[in-house]
Amino acid sequence: MSPRSSLVLAGNRIYSAFQTAVGRMDKSLNPRDTLHRLQKHSFAFYDLKYLIHILNSAFWLVIMRVPGFPLKLLIPVLHIALLIVPLTSQIFLPALPVSTYLMTFYSSQFIPNNRRPNISVSVLPTLESVLFGANISDLLTRSTHPILDVIAWLPYGIGHFTVPFVVAIFLWLFRPKQALHLWARAFGWMNFVGVVTNIIFPCAAPWYEVIFGLTPAEYSMKGSPGGLLRIDNLFNSHGYTVTFSNSPVVFGAFPSLHSACATMEALFLAHFFPQVATYAWVYAAVLYWATMYLTHHYLIDVVGGSCLAIAFFYIFLPDDLRGPLATASPTGILANGVAHGGVGAHLNGKRSKYEIYEIEEPHLDGDGLSYELSSDAGSDEEDPGIAYRSPGLHPAAPAATMPFIGHVAKQPRRSHKHTASIASLIRADDRVEDGWSPIGTASFVFPPTPTRLERDSR
């Protein structure tokens, strides 16, 4: 297949998946539908997470100075409106952890300087030298080249802001809804904890050491684009200089949220799309190098961010997404073409009808549905019930009755049991060869037909 044909096929598949995903969405704009579902919802302990969102947002809204009062009240009003409309609530409700992270990241710049902890300048380079035997990040910055600048810029300056949306879109298109919700929770809470760590434990990045040495840092200092300044010069722009100079978190080197996001993205892609696992980890490795090459993080920051991502990924990963459901389509069809949990099973954790009634489940083969008949339908101790019981000795009969009953040969058990009904007697002679007909066996005998004299005498 030519590359052009492959691209066309991939594009058609993405477009088809997009149409299907849009069709699955709730398109209602009536807030009453959301309120009705809220009334029917049974609140549990896990719902206390919404209280965390409310308290966190209220705290940062109080200290927020830009926008000022009363314009900043539009933030919660708009957010509540998005949550109460069914069409938008199915997007923004699972993304509440991401909203909480963004609110914390932006509003942290308004914390009064006299209430902030001291900025650490020497802890990170010292830890790097002690743990790794050298200042690895400093060694990686000594040789620069425009080609290396561009290679580092692509994942650090572009991929960091776009790949999270790409992962979310592909999870929405090709994986069950639970996978997308998991991405929003793990990604949002990981970044939230990372930003809180930056606030509680502020540390200077390598660019600060390059410019100011180990002199004490102050919160009034502006941030620096570091090695991204060469990208601004290369494209004759000031985008990264302006962005990093006005960053809400200037001294947030540890942990590296760039490496944390790249690790989380690689973990999700490798778990839910195993065919691209190699490319995902290559991307993450290049970003690890870029964070140090561009003088934005020490190696200890990269390690700390990666550990944070791994911890949150496996803490939030539910058991049902650890198995085959991780690679199932949004409709529950696994990669091998079999429905998850059996034919007719649901993705919401309910048992299929075959599990409920304890009957054999059909499986898919090359010709469609087929049934595999087992040679043994159960253990010898199983009581088949009076409707299926043969006239032989009951398994529970005492051994003392054997002399009166005599020896009864054990009859082989069959996978399918039938009762002697009208339907089973039709053309019964033709069915003896099949082994289950009630006629022609020792277990069934027609009673003799009485004569007219015998009937009259009764």
Looking at residue 366, its pLDDT comes to 41
Residue 296 in contact with residue 155, Cβ under 8 Å?
no
| CA pseudo-torsion sign 279, 282, 283, 284 | positive
How many C-beta neighbours within 10 Å does residue 277 have? Answer: 15
Looking at residue 375, its pLDDT comes to 41
Looking at residue 354, its pLDDT comes to 52
pLDDT per residue of the chain (458 residues) written in tens, 0 to 9: 788 888 888 899 999 999 999 999 999 999 999 999 998 888 888 888 899 999 999 999 999 999 988 899 999 999 999 999 999 999 999 999 999 999 999 999 999 999 999 999 999 999 999 998 888 888 888 889 999 999 999 999 999 999 999 999 999 999 999 999 999 999 999 999 999 999 999 999 999 999 999 899 999 999 999 999 999 999 999 999 999 999 999 999 999 999 999 999 999 999 999 999 999 999 999 999 999 999 999 999 999 999 999 999 999 999 989 888 888 888 766 555 555 554 334 444 445 555 555 555 555 444 444 444 444 444 444 444 444 444 444 444 444 444 444 444 444 444 444 444 444 455 555 555 555 555 555 555 555 666 666 666 66
The distance from CA 205 to its chain's CA centroid, rounded to whole angstroms, is 33
Q: How far apart, in Å, do the first and last CA atoms of the chain sit?
A: 88
Looking at residue 32, its pLDDT comes to 92
Q: What is the pTM of this model?
A: 0.73
Residue 253 in contact with residue 122, Cβ under 8 Å?
no
- SS3 per-residue string spanning the chain: CCHHHHHHHHHHHHHHHHHHHHHHCCCCCCHHHHHHHHHHCCCCHHHHHHHHHHHHHHHHHHHCCCCCCCHHHHHHHHHHHHHHCHHHHHHHCCCHHHHHHHHHHHHHHHCCHHHCCCCECCHHHHHHHHHHCCCHHHHHCCCCCHHHHHHHHHHHHHHHHHHHHHHHHHHHHHCCHHHHHHHHHHHHHHHHHHHHHHHHCCECCHHHHHHHCCCCCCCCCCCCCCCHHHHHHHCCCCHHHHHHHCCCCCCECCCCHHHHHHHHHHHHHHHHCHHHHHHHHHHHHHHHHHHHHCCCCCHHHHHHHHHHHHHHHHHHCCHHHCCHHHHCCCCCECCCCCECCCCCCCCCCCCCHHHHCCCCCCEEECCEEECCCCCCCCCCCCCCCHHHCCCCCCCCCCHHHHHHHCCCCCCCCCCCCCCCCHHHHCCHHHHHHHCCCCCCCCCCCCCCCCCHHHHHHC
The CA-atom distances, in angstroms, between 112 and each of 58, 84, 219 are 17, 34, 10
Looking at residue 258, its pLDDT comes to 96
Residues 6+ apart with CB under 8 A from 365: none
CA dihedral 53, 55, 61, 63 (to 10 degrees): -130
Query: Could you tell me the two tokens for 85?
Result: 């409309």
